[in-house]
Chains A and B, each alone.
Chain A
Amino acid sequence: EVQLVESGGALVQPGGSLRLSCAASGFTLSVYSVTWVRQAPGKGLEWVSYILSTGTVIHYSDSVKGRFTISRDNAKNSVFLQMNSLRADDSAVYYCARVRGSQLARAYLDYWGQGTLVTVSS
Chain B
Amino acid sequence: QSVLTQPPSVSAAPGQKVTISCSGSSSNIGNNYVSWYQQLPGTAPKLLIYDNNQRPSGIPDRFSGSKSGSSATLAITGLQTGDEADYYCETWDTSLTAGVFGGGTKLTVL
Residues of A at under 8 Å CB distance from B?
A: 35, 37, 44-47, 50, 59-62, 95, 97, 100-101, 104-115
Contacts and interface: CB of A to CB of B under 8 A. Distances in A.
B62 to A, nearest CB: 20
Given A45-B101, A47-B99, A59-B97, A112 B46 contact: yes
Contacts of B51: 101, 106, 108
B4 to A, nearest CB: 10
A50 B90 CA distance: 14
The A interface is mostly helix, strand or loop, or mixed, namely strand
Contact of B103 (A44, A95, A113): A44
B84 to A, nearest CB: 17
A109 B44 contact: no
Interface of B: 2, 31-33, 35, 37, 39, 44-47, 50-51, 56, 86, 88, 90, 92, 94, 96-104
Contacts of B102: 44
B44 A106 contact: no
Contacts of A111: 47
Given A44-B104, A100-B50, A50 B99 contact: yes
B97 to A, nearest CB: 5
- Interchain residue pairs A-B with the least CB separation, the first 8: A47-B99, A108-B35, A108-B50, A44-B104, A105-B32, A112-B44, A45-B101, A106-B33
B104 A45 contact: yes
A117 B88 CA distance: 20
Contact of A44 (B46, B92, B101): B101
A95 to B, nearest CB: 6
Contacts of B39: 45
